[in-house]
Amino acid sequence: ETGRPALLTEHGIYVREQYLNLGRSIESTFVRWILTRVIGTVADMNYAYADQVSPVCHYNTRWEKWRGVEDPRIKVIYNGVDPAKFFPLEAPVRNERPLIVCVGLIFPLKGQLDLIEAAAIDGARPWWRFWG
């Protein structure tokens, strides 16, 4: 309507994340079938009207191409930090064990439970035992 270009950015691929979530959370095959079509249609409408679609990595472009976005409308904008510009001012404190930090939405798809289980494989104490 305004003649301004529309930019669609995706950190994750919405369709993929919703398909995975439906598989875990909805028992009814019929309800999953309906919801996958609704979700796919919503995503396709957004892709159709976007002048540029920008995922955060090249790998994600395959999902957008699969949903009909043409190569010229896809421009990857990579996540990341330039270590030459952003670096610690002091030397990091070295512990006897590595420190792992996870910053993100607490959601099964983000894998925090997988991270905790992976840390436990090495015999590390689970995070809930650090306090109390």
User: What is the predicted pLDDT for the residue at 108?
Assistant: 73
User: What is the predicted pLDDT for the residue at 126?
Assistant: 54
User: What is the predicted pLDDT for the residue at 130?
Assistant: 47
pTM over 0.75: no
Q: How far apart (Å, rounded) are the C-alpha atoms in residues 55 and 69?
A: 12
CA atoms within 13 A on the CB side of 125: 6
User: What is the predicted pLDDT for the residue at 82?
Assistant: 77
- CB 47, CB 68: distance < 8 Å: yes
User: What is the predicted pLDDT for the residue at 98?
Assistant: 67
Q: DSSP string spanning the chain? A: ------EEEESS-HHHHHHHHHHHH---HHHHHHHHHHHHHHHHHHHHH-SEEEESSGGGHHHHHHTT--GGGB--------TTTS--SSPPPPPSS------S---GGG-HHHHHHHHHHTTPPPGGGS--
User: What is the predicted pLDDT for the residue at 54?
Assistant: 95
Tell me the pLDDT band of 124, cut-offs 50, 70 and 90: low
State yes or no: pLDDT of 132 exceeds 60: no
Residue range 61-113, pLDDT digits in tens = 999 999 999 999 999 998 777 777 877 777 667 767 666 777 777 877 777 88
User: What is the predicted pLDDT for the residue at 66?
Assistant: 93
Residue range 22-42, pLDDT digits in tens = 888 888 999 999 999 999 999
Query: Rg of the chain over CA atoms, in angstroms?
Result: 20
Task: Compare 89 and 122 and report the one with higher pLDDT.
Answer: 89
